[in-house]
């Protein structure tokens, strides 16, 4: 992988008020890249889903740390890695299926991974029971229509 143009790594506690914090951080990271309105909204939503999963599922009944890494590359590609040290996912393939949820009583609709998948260009999920989960998403931003400084 080529060297990123910019990189941010932050770690925060799995508290629900940090969902909006994570969205703010990714927004602040992306704004200088001049994303289209929809591209920014896609990424904000995908990040929100990944962070909410950590809070609701990975650290169910407990509080742990979530690490979010954001990288951008020269070709306009961004890479987002959100990882936790929580309970892990028993069956990743099943978890990624639309409408599948382990917590229907808690108003979870089972769309988290589907949304991450459709709002990014690629989604990779690796998980180990008892060791945590790592979600990696990439998205290529369309070239800005701004005239680059000469």
Q: Which residue, 5 or 23, has its beta carbon nearer to other proteins?
A: 23
How many other CB atoms are there within 10 angstroms of residue 120's CB atom? 24
Contacting residues toward other proteins, per CB under 8 A: 16-17, 19-20, 23, 38, 41, 44-45, 48-49, 52, 55-56, 99, 106-112, 114-115, 118
44 classed as catalytic: no
74 classed as catalytic: no
Q: Least Å distance between CB 91 and other proteins?
A: 19
If 0-12 CB within 10 Å is exposed, 13-18 middle and 19+ buried, where does residue 8 land? middle
- In terms of DSSP H, where are the helices of the chain? 18-30, 37-53, 92-96, 112-118
Q: Least Å distance between CB 14 and other proteins?
A: 11
User: Catalytic one among 19, 44, 53, 79?
Assistant: 53
Q: Which residue, 1 or 99, has its beta carbon nearer to other proteins?
A: 99
Run of H or E including 66: strand 65-72
Distance separating alpha carbons of residues 70 and 59, to the nearest angstrom: 22
Q: Least Å distance between CB 1 and other proteins?
A: 29
User: Catalytic one among 18, 19, 39, 49?
Assistant: 49
Distance separating alpha carbons of residues 37 and 71, to the nearest angstrom: 19
Q: Least Å distance between CB 74 and other proteins?
A: 29
96 classed as catalytic: no
Q: Which residue, 48 or 83, has its beta carbon nearer to other proteins?
A: 48
Q: Which residue, 67 or 114, has its beta carbon nearer to other proteins?
A: 114
Run of H or E including 13: strand 6-13
Distance separating alpha carbons of residues 128 and 13, to the nearest angstrom: 20
Which residues are catalytic, by number? 49, 53, 108
């Amino acid at each position: 992988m080529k060297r990123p143009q910019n990189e941010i790594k932050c770690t925060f506690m799995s508290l629900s008020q940090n969902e909006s914090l994570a969205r703010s951080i990714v927004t602040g990271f992306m704004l200088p890249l001049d994303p289209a309105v929809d591209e920014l909204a896609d990424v904000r939503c995908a990040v929100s889903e990944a962070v909410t999963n950590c809070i609701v599922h990975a650290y169910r009944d407990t509080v742990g740390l979530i690490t979010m890494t954001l990288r951008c590359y020269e070709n306009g590609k961004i890479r987002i890695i959100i990882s936790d040290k929580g309970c892990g996912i028993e069956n990743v393939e099943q978890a990624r299926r639309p409408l599948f949820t382990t917590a229907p009583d808690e108003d979870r609709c089972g769309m988290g991974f589907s949304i991450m998948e459709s709002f990014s260009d690629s989604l990779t999920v690796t998980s180990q029971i008892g060791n945590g989960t790592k979600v990696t998403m990439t998205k290529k931003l369309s070239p800005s229509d701004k005239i680059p400084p000469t």
